[in-house]
Amino acid sequence: TPPGPSGASSQPVPPAPSHTLGLNAQNVTPATSPMGASGVAYRSQSSEGVSSLSSSPSNSLETQSQSLSRSQSMDIDTASCEKSMSQVDVDSGIENMEVEDSDRREKRNLAEKDSSSSSDVSEEQALHLICKILRVSWKDQDRDVIFLPSLAAEFQKNPRDVYSDFKDLIGQILMEALMMSTRSRDCNPFASLTATSQPITAARSPDRHLTLVPPSSQSGSPMMPCAGSFGASSLSSLCASGGGLTGDSGSDRFTIESCKETEMLNYLIERFDSVGMEERKAPKMCSQPAVSQLLSNIRSQCISHAALVLQGSLTQPRTPLQSSLLVPYMLCRNLPYGFIQELVRMTHQEEEVFKQIFVPILQGLALAVKECSFDSDNFKFPLMALAELCEIKFGKTHPVCNLITSLPLWCPDPLSPGTGREIQRLSFLGAFFSLSVFAEDDTKVGDKYFSGPAITMENTRVVSQSLQHYLECARGDLFKILHNILLNGETREAALSYMAALVNRNVKKAQMQTDDKLVSTDGFMMNFLWVLQQLSMKIKLETVDPLYIFHPKCRLNVSPEETRLNATMEELKSWLAELHEDPSKFSEPKFPTECFFLTLHAHHLSILPCCRRYIRRLRAIRDLNRTVEELKNSENQWKDSPLASRHREMLKRCKTQLKKLVRSKACADAGLLDENLLRRCLRFFSMVIQLILRMMDPAYPHVTLPLNPEIPKSFAALPEFYIEDVAEFLLFIVQYFPQVLYEPCTEDIVTFLVVFICSQNYIKNPYLIAKLVEVLFVTNPAVQPRTQRFFEMMENHPLSVNQLVPALMKFYTDVEHTGATSEFYDKFTIRYHISTIFKSLWQNINHQGTFLEEFNSGKQFVRYINMLINDTTFLLDESLESLKRIHEIQEEMKNKDQWDQLPREQQQSRQSQLTQDERVSRSYLALATETVDMFHILTKQVQKPFLSCCISFHSS
């Protein structure tokens, strides 16, 4: 055991006096105490809601021993630990003041008198405990303690005048031990100490940095807590000896600077942890008020001196560009329970000191996360560290959140046209939100998980699930970070401004043709969307102001040129001018409203562009596959020709590109086809639907059709994409992930589809109605068997029974003239969709009755039948023409002698014509078949209307 002081008489432990702070120490003399006699007094504050930066607790308290690692210190009785922490009220720095011997004696005698009746712990025992925890001695030199020559001389001269109280003594001990390290370049007073906890695995790297190597047990699931088996006491020993153990690959290492500050910081962290170890070993003794206060003093003094080390006050000031020495400990999950919380508590009220210590920590974490990828689970450590820093709370204040939003790069001003990519690259949180599984954002993921020759469908599925697990883990921490910044009243405005900037600077991402260099990446936007979805989850629609996007204080930049549901630019300007004349119509925007619309616009800029990119990728894969097959099948024709080398090179390029696209698709499957994510999107779109239906008909959910012919201006002025995004998302999930469709919100989606298809006058753009019709088409059991229940809900919806068939007949005829240049060809696709829906509805007895009623007296029936006949005639004519051309070319190709005599250019032209005719004939025949089938069904059941003189059997 460490030796006690020489010549000290046994007496009760004096209670610690009120503590003082003096953080801005610059001129420090090693002989003086680090405690000043005066300073700014800090009251102890509870660290409410703080989570530890150390690892998870072990499963069994009985298995703890003296060598228990510091990362297991959360096994301390949390209540007693917090009680002890709440009594800590300590110096976090040094004031260069001399304390007179007479003052020390007077304070010490007074302390002894006050405490003599309240403590059974003698001064000898207290000194022994201090020496044991701090591993020092001023009596004997030993290999396992630090001998303090200055204190030894003081005790030999006059033991009674060495210290005024134990806080004073602890400060002198720590200061002398630290200053011993600075006196000589090669001297390391901590090298003789043996570890009291499991040592850090360290190795000296060529750049004179120490490498902290996480143990192999950390390479498991991304959701598993870090093993935390890193001690600190041996780090300085390994530094001094130049030895160490070699660990894993460099990509799994976190480096820490090999310097005097590291030695000192490591010693202070270890001593801080030793207090907890002592509390675990002797809980009864440590619960005594005097001992508890003594231990609190040791903790607080360790933090105070650590603050000085981190500022460089004991060596030389650290520049703002230098990374904090604490960052590697935080990344390794290697700090004792309460260390960071106490460091924040003791420094956050002195702004400059707080910045000097924590700005380098924040910068270090941002740099660390930039080096991370989902190709390993190292990504979680910077995220967890920042999330836990943001959760530290004193009263109603989150000090680290305040600091983050005060950084110059919290939300930097735009500098170039690429505002979306700028804010991702330059803003502080941008690096944390940039983690992505998409191959376009990070090639490491695809290269590691989807590039092997043995990749199977089952392997891909398992890897996708693991990557989705990683994503959930990372996004959970991102949510904690942003949520805490929003919870903190002082930073809520800054957080909302940043969120709005992310949306506003990425508006180009919604364009069909986007320059990806100007906007944020898909992974970044999807992470941001996930966080917003969590924030919006508990929003009640009653608290959302539907007029927010017209509000003078709206954060979102909605362009006046944005297409509206049913308003021209002139009508919009006129209505907005009228609306803004009366400010009383607007209430102050509240967080639920702002968050809801931010989330709505974020869906427009994240999930929808991802879906479109996914579909384009599938189309490119299909086209490349076809090209590869055609080149292979025609190899006999070109292998001996002068163009053979060109064809082989083209085949090679196609295969390489195909391989790349398939790998990219596998990554996108993990990032986009995530059931939980898609379900959350569907639930949010359901909320959007409810809000829009309420604007259309205040009686919602008790909607009646037809709606009021007078369209509400607030509805007409809404951006068109509010509805289009819902339709596009439904089309995507029905085709690629139909099981998501069955949610409690499905009833709202069915109502939405029926109401809008049956209220075509409410939407100006016929192609938007066509998209809603297409949703009904793809949910048809004849097209997608897995959505049969959804289609049945639509069939049996009370509003659809009497209104859907007439509305679809009307739309069938109205698409004859849409105003678009492609209207002639578009109408066939739309009518094909409607015919397929009609065939299914005809099987329903209720809808069959509506059909018959419409045939006998309906306004749309005659026009519908005429269009049906005209389409049938045209499609059959075109099909026969294309079949004729196909036959002619095939006959030419059969006559090999005649075909070989044709010039190569003519052969290629004829082959292209054949491919085109085959594609056109397939489409026309499919459309014609559907139209003829519908014609057959109608004439079989009802003949009388077809004998009407109003119906023309001639092509128009």
Query: Per-residue pLDDT tens for 273-322?
Result: 999 998 899 888 888 888 899 999 999 999 999 999 999 888 888 777 77
Which among 681, 717, 723 has a CA at the least distance from the CA of 548?
717
Q: Is residue 647 in a domain?
A: no
Are 264 and 317 within one domain? Answer: yes
Which among 197, 260, 203 has a CA at the least distance from the CA of 231?
197
Residues 954 and 21: their CA atoms lie apart, in Å, by 98
Are 533 and 575 within one domain? Answer: yes
Contacts of 348 (CB under 8 A, 6+ apart): 354, 394, 397, 399
In this predicted model, what pLDDT tens digit does every residue of 932-954 receive, in sequence order? 888 888 777 777 766 665 555 55
Residues 607 and 725: their CA atoms lie apart, in Å, by 9
Task: Please give the pLDDT value at position 317.
Answer: 84
pLDDT at residue 882 greater than cutoff 80? yes
Least confident of 841-845, 880-884, 905-909: 905-909
In this predicted model, what pLDDT tens digit does every residue of 461-471 receive, in sequence order? 999 999 999 99
Are 208 and 71 within one domain? Answer: yes
Are 253 and 377 within one domain? Answer: no
Are 292 and 365 within one domain? Answer: no
Are 260 and 126 within one domain? Answer: yes
Contacts of 579 (CB under 8 A, 6+ apart): 547, 550, 585
Which among 336, 333, 388, 394 has a CA at the least distance from the CA of 362?
388
* Boundary-marking domain end, from 294, 316, 348: 348
Q: Which stretches of 700-817 are DSSP H helices?
A: 713-716, 721-736, 746-757, 766-778, 788-795, 798-814
Q: What is the H or E stretch that residue 137 is in?
A: strand 136-137
Are 405 and 445 within one domain? Answer: yes
Note if the bond before 17 is cis, omega within 30 degrees. Answer: no
Task: Please give the pLDDT value at position 254.
Answer: 65
Q: Is 254 helix (H, G, I), strand (E, B) or coil?
A: strand
- Tell me the mean pLDDT in the region 92-121: 46
Contact assessment for residue 596 and residue 499, using Cβ atoms and an 8 Å cutoff: no
Residues 663 and 447: their CA atoms lie apart, in Å, by 8
Beta-sheet pairing, 209-212 with 254-257: antiparallel
Residues 173 and 432: their CA atoms lie apart, in Å, by 41
CA dihedral over 508, 512, 516, 520, signed as positive or negative: positive
* Boundary-marking domain end, from 327, 348, 369: 348
* Boundary-marking domain end, from 324, 348, 372: 348
Rounded to the nearest integer, the mean pLDDT of the chain is 81
pLDDT band for position 764 (50/70/90)? very high
Q: What is the H or E stretch that residue 696 is in?
A: helix 675-696
Task: Please give the pLDDT value at position 329.
Answer: 93
pLDDT band for position 608 (50/70/90)? very high
Edge to edge, the sheet with strand 209-212 lists: 202-204, 209-212, 254-257
Place of tokens 């539907």: 546
Burial class (CB in 10 A: 0-12, 13-18, 19+), 936: exposed
Are 364 and 344 within one domain? Answer: no
Tokens of 318: 């650290």
> How many independent structural domains does the chain possess?
3
Q: Is residue 883 in a domain?
A: yes
Q: What is the DSSP letter of 210?
A: E
Tokens of 549: 């996007």
Give the structural domain span for 883: 872-947
Q: Is residue 397 in a domain?
A: yes
Residues 471 and 434: their CA atoms lie apart, in Å, by 11
Residues 207 and 258: their CA atoms lie apart, in Å, by 9
Residues 903 and 71: their CA atoms lie apart, in Å, by 79
Q: How many CA atoms lie within 13 A of 498 on its CB side?
A: 28
Q: What percent of the chain lies above the pLDDT cut of 70?
A: 79
Number of other residues whose CB lies within 10 A of the CB of residue 66: 9
Q: What is the H or E stretch that residue 222 is in?
A: none
Least confident of 185-199, 377-391, 631-645, 657-671: 185-199
pTM attached to this predicted model: 0.81
Are 431 and 343 within one domain? Answer: no
Tokens of 265: 């910081």
Contact assessment for residue 355 and residue 403, using Cβ atoms and an 8 Å cutoff: yes
Number of other residues whose CB lies within 10 A of the CB of residue 347: 27
Contacts of 79 (CB under 8 A, 6+ apart): none
Could you tell me how far CA 565 lies from the centroid of its own chain?
A: 32
Are 298 and 406 within one domain? Answer: no
Residues 603 and 684: their CA atoms lie apart, in Å, by 9
Q: Is residue 30 in a domain?
A: no
Residues 740 and 724: their CA atoms lie apart, in Å, by 19
Q: Is 158 helix (H, G, I), strand (E, B) or coil?
A: coil
CA dihedral over 174, 177, 183, 186, signed as positive or negative: negative
Torsion of CA 751, 757, 761, 764, to 10 degrees: 110
Q: How many CA atoms lie within 13 A of 661 on its CB side?
A: 19
pLDDT at residue 760 greater than cutoff 60? yes
Give 591-596 contacts, CB < 8 A, sequence gap 24+.
591/486, 591/492, 591/496, 592/539, 592/540, 592/543, 592/544, 593/543, 593/544, 593/545, 593/548, 594/496, 594/548, 594/555, 595/532, 595/535, 595/536, 595/539, 596/536, 596/539, 596/544, 596/548, 596/687
Instruction: Compute the residue count for the chain.
Output: 956
Q: How many Å from the N-terminal Cα to the C-terminal Cα in the chain?
A: 107
Q: Between residues 61 and 412, which one has the greater pLDDT?
A: 412
Q: Is residue 685 in a domain?
A: no
Are 208 and 177 within one domain? Answer: yes
Q: Is residue 877 in a domain?
A: yes
Q: Is residue 513 in a domain?
A: yes
pLDDT at residue 5 greater than cutoff 90? no
Q: What is the DSSP letter of 39?
A: -
Q: Is residue 621 in a domain?
A: no
Are 326 and 368 within one domain? Answer: no
- Tell me the mean pLDDT in the region 169-175: 92
Q: Which stretches of 18-148 are DSSP H helices?
A: 78-86, 101-115, 123-134
pLDDT at residue 61 greater than cutoff 70? no
Q: Which stretches of 232-335 are DSSP H helices?
A: 233-241, 260-281, 283-286, 289-311, 327-331
